[in-house]
Amino acid sequence: MVRLIKREEISKATRIKIMIFAIIFALIIAGGFIEILGYNPIEIFGAMLKGSLGSPNRIRQTIINAIPLVVTAVGISVAFKMQFWNIGGEGQILMGALGATLVALNMSTLSKPVLLLLMVIAALIFGAFWAAISGVLKVYFNTNETIVTLMLNYIALKFITYLQYGPLRDKKAMNFPKIPNFSENAILPSLFNVHIGWIIAIIIVIVFYIIMKHSKLGYEISVLGESQNTARYAGISINKTILKAIGISGALCGLTGFIQASAVSQTLSTEISGGVGYTAIIVAWLSNLNSIAILLVSFLFATLVQGGSYIQTAFGIPNAAASVIQALLLFFVLGSDLFMKYKIAIRRTK
């Protein structure tokens, strides 16, 4: 008889061992899949590392891909820590980008520091507002936040599409449906050939690690995530804490929108988010909602994605096959969470 028994606790060493075994099994299965396709697994895995870390330019691109994952995953982890399932990162990123864009297009004559600061503030406000809609509905009408935040993603996407084809359409773009590019003042500067979004991401990781571990708000969010009754007994205002946490979560996702719009796209479009809002959910879970771990997992995930793109061009591997390899690795790593929460007990019967 084989049973799963819930663990009371798990040490960091055991957690690391389980993760290592999951990665090994993932590589074995993915290697078998690559072998079926007619390629050498060792050569493919080596090429994935080469494609993401093989040169300064590739490392730079990997870091650029990791930045939005870090900021968004930290934001999502704030809500998840409270067991508020914010699946609306995509929409909050788009709305944050919209706020930054409105400032960039209408106040382009301001000096660069002032303009960028106003863009950040607008992105934070727009992202927080979009997330707060689901928070208010949850607090006062007890709606399902998973469904509400997910649906708000589509509303945000269609709204940006409307602006792209309508009110914000660039009149100089020869009838092409695009929003005007930002002025130089509205573009984030670079440091070490990478836009300073990486500095913003590191600051956010450190600040929110301290907040979640050593502040009153972090304590309230953690207690509320464990039990509403315990939070109520401790004198925590449940509704106020929910609205604070979801507002912060949305604001950070909105900040991602600013970074992507200003430093990467240098305009607003429906492709700004690029699936980051959904990918960041996986990153947050893999990191056990720990902001320091999010920094590492985001970089590893960006390495996987960048390497997957490289093997498509270097070996002619179809996009679908590259996605299957990425999915297999993620499946095993995510599946390892089961063995972190439960242990296998074998009872011999006569």
Digit-coded pLDDT (tens) for 309-335: 899 888 888 888 888 888 888 888 888
Q: How high is the mean pLDDT of the chain?
A: 92
Confidence of residue 350 (pLDDT cuts 50, 70, 90): low
221 belongs to a structural domain? yes
- The domain tally of the chain equals 1
In a domain, 236, yes or no: yes
Range of the domain at 216: 68-298
Judge whether 208 lies within some domain: yes
Within a domain: residue 343? no
Closest CA to 315 of 50, 23, 26, 55: 50
Query: pLDDT tens digits, residue range 148-203?
Result: 999 999 999 999 999 999 999 998 888 888 999 999 999 999 999 999 999 999 99
Q: Is residue 29 assigned to a domain?
A: no
**Cβ atoms within 10 Å of 325's Cβ, excluding its own:** 26
Under a CB-based contact definition with an 8 Å cutoff, are residues 137 and 143 in contact? yes
Inside any domain, residue 232 = yes
Q: What is the pLDDT of residues 262-304, one digit of tens each?
A: 999 999 999 999 899 999 998 998 888 999 999 999 999 999 8
User: Phi/psi at 339 (nearest 5 deg)?
Assistant: -80, -10
Q: Is 49 domain-assigned?
A: no
- On whether residue 212 sits in a domain, the answer given is yes
Query: Which 3 state secondary structure label does DSSP give 2?
Result: strand
- The sign of the CA dihedral 22, 277, 69, 14 is negative
